[in-house]
């Protein structure tokens, strides 16, 4: 047998108008640079200068794809077709983002790498039956493509081979449109096309309720500064799943969010086909030393993680995240950068 040991490497997608660096370790976006209104480029994602700190576990999920199931599963337990499954409790008392060694902590195979006008890279990973407690073998693919001058598309696909299983992947990049090293994101404004959230208990697990955001600090149905009502949110900031129920559609994707940074005029519009989006304001980031020695503190980045609803496997009224053999899980995200 040939030695198929995969090693973490960094790959670049560059079309002249934006530059993205991605590693096959966790399918992580390590850097993404786009111009501001004056044509000045900045790297707008939190991360590290090399692959090593990611591999050593220094990052709180910076830039990665998380799975087999993103977000929290209550008490690390679920049952499916009458079989009970127990998952690692890696964020007590729950299982988070696939367990101790989720998709973010494995080396993916590079299936295809294309340069040129629409550069792309495709990563493949085979998740084994019983891995982190989940049932069945699953083949996973993730393709990042620069589809136009300042637009990046991510297509995620997962196919269960022999057993039904919950599948819900999320892209966990922390964004700071002023530049990764520029401090907190509380002055960014955001609009979220979600008129409801799934409120959570004291362990950040949804209660099962679907709550209107109107008249609460969670209302971003019109553009508002992230910091405007953050102090009214119980806990350390926003870490909530929005029900994406009011965005216009474009080629099968719904408008999920629009993030805007006032000093540079950089804008990120996010489109997706997922039912929910975790809006997370980097509440637990605490003195992480990142690229160029930048120190990332609380709220130094914002995550817009489109996803299945958290703990959906245990909440019959949430959209199902169960995928059966013969079916395929498909999740697309479109990141459109601009200035305005």
305 is catalytic: yes
For every residue of 228-254, DSSP letters joined together read SSGGGSSSSS-EEEEE--SPPEETTEE
Determine the Cα–Cα distance for residues 125 and 108; give it in Å rounded to an integer.
Answer: 5
Residues whose CB falls within 8 Å of the CB of residue 62, separated by 6 or more in sequence, listed in order? 28, 45, 46, 47, 48, 54, 172, 173, 174, 290
Determine the Cα–Cα distance for residues 165 and 184; give it in Å rounded to an integer.
Answer: 38
Catalytic residue among 131, 132, 157, 172: 172
Residues whose CB falls within 8 Å of the CB of residue 285, separated by 6 or more in sequence, listed in order? 46, 60, 174, 296, 297, 298, 299, 300, 301
223 is catalytic: no
Alpha helix stretches (DSSP H) within the chain:
52-55
Determine the Cα–Cα distance for residues 288 and 302; give it in Å rounded to an integer.
Answer: 15
Determine the Cα–Cα distance for residues 168 and 203; give it in Å rounded to an integer.
Answer: 20
| Three-class DSSP category at 55 | helix
Determine the Cα–Cα distance for residues 283 and 112; give it in Å rounded to an integer.
Answer: 36
Catalytic residue among 131, 132, 305, 336: 305
DSSP state of 294: P
The backbone torsions φ and ψ at residue 271, rounded to the nearest 5 degrees and listed phi first, read: -125, 150
> Is-contact 47 59, C-beta < 8 A?
yes
Determine the Cα–Cα distance for residues 55 and 47; give it in Å rounded to an integer.
Answer: 12
Centre a 10 Å sphere on the Cβ of residue 68 and count the other Cβ atoms it contains: 28
> Is-contact 17 26, C-beta < 8 A?
no
- Cα torsion 91, 183, 218, 272: sign: negative
* Residues annotated as part of the active site: 172, 305
């Amino acid at each position: 047998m040939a030695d198929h040991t995969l090693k973490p490497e960094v790959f670049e997608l560059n079309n002249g108008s934006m530059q993205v660096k991605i590693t096959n370790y966790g399918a992580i976006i390590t850097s993404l640079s786009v111009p501001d209104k004056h044509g000045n480029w900045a790297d707008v994602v939190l991360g590290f200068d090399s692959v090593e700190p990611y591999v050593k576990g220094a990052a709180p999920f910076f830039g990665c794809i998380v799975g087999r199931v993103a977000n929290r599963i209550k008490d690390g337990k679920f049952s499916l077709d009458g079989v009970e499954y127990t998952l690692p409790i890696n964020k007590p008392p729950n299982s988070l983002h696939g367990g101790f060694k989720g998709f973010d902590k494995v080396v993916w195979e590079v299936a295809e790498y294309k340069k040129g006008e629409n550069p792309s890279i495709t990563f493949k990973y085979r998740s084994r039956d019983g891995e982190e407690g989940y049932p069945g073998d699953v083949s996973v693919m993730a393709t990042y493509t620069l589809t136009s001058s300042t637009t990046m598309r991510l297509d995620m696909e997962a196919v269960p081979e022999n057993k039904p299983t919950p599948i819900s992947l999320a892209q966990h990049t922390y964004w700071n449109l002023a530049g990764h090293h520029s401090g907190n994101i509380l002055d960014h404004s955001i609009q979220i096309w979600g008129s409801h959230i799934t409120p959570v208990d004291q362990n950040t697990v949804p209660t099962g309720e679907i709550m209107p955001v109107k008249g609460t600090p969670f209302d971003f149905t019109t553009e508002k500064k992230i910091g405007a009502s953050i102090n009214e949110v119980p806990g350390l900031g926003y870490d909530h799943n929005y029900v994406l129920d009011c965005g216009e559609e474009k080629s099968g994707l719904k408008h999920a969010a629009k993030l805007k940074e006032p000093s540079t005029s950089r804008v990120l519009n996010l489109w997706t086909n997922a039912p929910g989006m975790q809006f997370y304001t980097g509440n637990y980031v605490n003195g992480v030393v990142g690229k160029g020695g930048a120190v990332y503190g609380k709220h130094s980045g914002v995550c817009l993680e489109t996803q299945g609803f958290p703990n959906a496997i245990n909440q019959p009224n949430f959209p199902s995240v169960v995928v059966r053999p013969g079916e395929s899980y498909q999740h697309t995200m479109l990141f459109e950068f601009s200035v305005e």
